[in-house]
Amino acid sequence: MDFGFLSEYWSYFLKGAWLTLQLSFFGVLFGTLLGVGFALLRISKIGILRFLASVYIEVIRGTPMLVQIVIIYYGLTNFGINLPGFTSGVIALTINSAAYMAEVFRAGINAIDKGQNEAARSLGMTHGMSLRLIVLPQAFRNMLPAIGNEFIVIIKDSSLVSTIGIAELMYNTNTVSSLTFKPLEPLLVSAAVYFVMTFTLSRLLGLLERKLNNQ
């Protein structure tokens, strides 16, 4: 195998990896925020809110991300909504990530001892204050490994946005393959770049988790 093409095309992989990280970061960030909201709806005492949140979660988790990406990028044009590729990618990753994060946070919230919530209420805190100040911070700490795993999953799944022309890592890999007429070597380089990103992220999250556990 010949990897001599890297001397000329290394920037394609670097730029693609950077765009992949941007897509993944915003997808997980907004997905986590939206997921917390849906988690709270799932444990709401209002039946219609629980039902709507459940429908959203089941529909998103039950359909392929590729279909979601295509619907957002191409389907919304039928309603006069034309979104840039990057924006469409972030929205699709956010919507998908939120459904999974909602279940992660719901489990984390339910795992917190109900006595803590009752103690907070006895001190005069409202239900909202108790959630914001007592329950959610503990749930976030407990769910940090799951959030990290979701980030890693999104980094890998972001390759699907190459189908709508976003020049992330997989898209640029295919471009290099076309320019060099080498089908295998660029894919191996791309796999190595994905591994470096996910491995580094998992180690950083491990350090953060140990630091939080030692506090």
In a domain, 74, yes or no: yes
Q: Assess if residue 1 is contained within a domain.
A: no
In a domain, 2, yes or no: no
Predicted structure pTM score: 0.86
| Count of alpha carbons within 13 angstroms of residue 96, beta-carbon side | 30
Question: Which residues span the domain enclosing 196?
Answer: 7-213
CATH code of residue 111: 1.10.3720.10
Q: Is residue 152 part of a domain?
A: yes
Question: In this predicted model, what pLDDT tens digit does every residue of 199-213 receive, in sequence order?
Answer: 998 888 888 777 766
Whether residue 121 is contained in a domain is answered as yes
Contact 35, 102 (CB under 8 A): yes
DSSP classification of residue 132: I
pLDDT in tens, 121-140: 676 677 667 777 777 777 77
Dist CA 128 CA 134 (whole Å): 10
pLDDT of residue 54: 93
- For the chain, the domain total comes to 1
> Is it the case that residue 151 has pLDDT exceeding 90?
no
Cα–Cα dist 210/129, whole Å: 28
C-alpha neighbours within 13 Å on the C-beta side of residue 153:
16
Q: For 32-42, write each residue's pLDDT tens digit.
A: 899 989 998 98
Q: Residue 28 domain-assigned?
A: yes
Query: Would you tell me how many other CB atoms lie within 10 Å of the CB of residue 83?
Result: 16
Q: Burial code of 164-178, b = ≥16 C-beta within 10 A, e = fewer?
A: bebbbbbbbbbbbbe
Residue 203 lies in a domain: yes
What's the token pair of residue 82? Answer: 């034309």
Residue 174 lies inside a defined structural domain of this protein:
yes
Which among 139, 60, 133, 71 has a CA at the least distance from the CA of 100? Answer: 60
Structure-token pair, residue 207:
């350090």
pLDDT, tens digit, 9 for 90 and up, residues 73-84:
998 888 888 888
